[in-house]
Amino acid sequence: DIDHLNLRVQKELVEWLNWLKADIGFDGWRFDFAKGYSADVAKIYIDRSEPSFAVAEIWTSLAYGGDGKPNLNQDQHRQELVNWVDKVGGKGPATTFDFTTKGILNVAVEGELWRLRGTDGKAPGMIGWWPAKAVTFVDNHDTGSTQHMWPFPSDRVMQGYAYILTHPGTPCIFYDHFFDWGLKEEIDRLVSVKTRHGIHDESKLQIIEADADLYLAEIDGKVIVKLGPRYDVGNLIPGGFKVAAHGNDYAVW
């Protein structure tokens, strides 16, 4: 174990981080198991190495009901993510992985898309509160891949990408999905839509519909995304929008 409160440990780790920056060329850090040490310690490492980007893995359990599914209200879960960023320094480069959004999306795409509209009408994950500090993802090396600890429903992965690549926050694409699953072209199309229309981490999200079989949202007045099997949504799409990407139970205009 590393004693992060030991001043010598802190000094040597900071020197190592600065060596990685200056000599190797890294410009950002991922803080693994960040709940294993205080945000105050992470702040020391960030302040003294000045990365352009830093993201923390703070993986805690969602609040679950008696049916074994996540509660609609996950405010306590996303508050923990917000608190970490606040303590490390909200004006700096620190962000956290949006595990709240990940957990809700896992269940929502299984016929419960109403979950994607929170009680305040906004996105229910961290992106609904502080999108500029939320790194969204569908799966990572822990949740998917060989470890398979909290995997996204494998037949609905592209719905997950249609969501995170059109919504606010900083989306993260999983290596396995991009290179091993044959999804590169589909993901690329979504990335190109995001890039072409300038969708960014603080883009404005307007949720149009959120039912069991349909989620429809407009982003920055430029992009509309649909998740779910409901096909006939033409009456909900404003004039002038054309389909730019589509796949199994998702479409983007």
The residues annotated with a catalytic role in the active site are: 32, 57
Q: Name beta bridge partners: 34.
A: none
Helices (H), 115-225: 157-164, 175, 184-196
* Dist CA 224 CA 196 (whole Å): 14
Please enumerate in sequence order all residues whose Cβ is within 8 A of that of 60, keeping only pairs 6 or more positions apart, or say none. 35, 77, 80, 99
3-state DSSP helix/strand/coil percent for the chain, to nearest 5?
A: 40, 15, 45
Angle made by CA atoms 195, 201, 202, in degrees to the nearest 5: 115
Residue among 17, 98, 105, 5 at smallest CA distance from 55:
98
> φ and ψ at 160, to 5 degrees?
-60, -45
Sign of the CA dihedral with 242 first, then 162, 215, and 220 last: negative
What is the DSSP code string of 200-238? -TT--EEEEEE-SS-EEEEETTTEEEEESS----GGGSP
DSSP 155: G
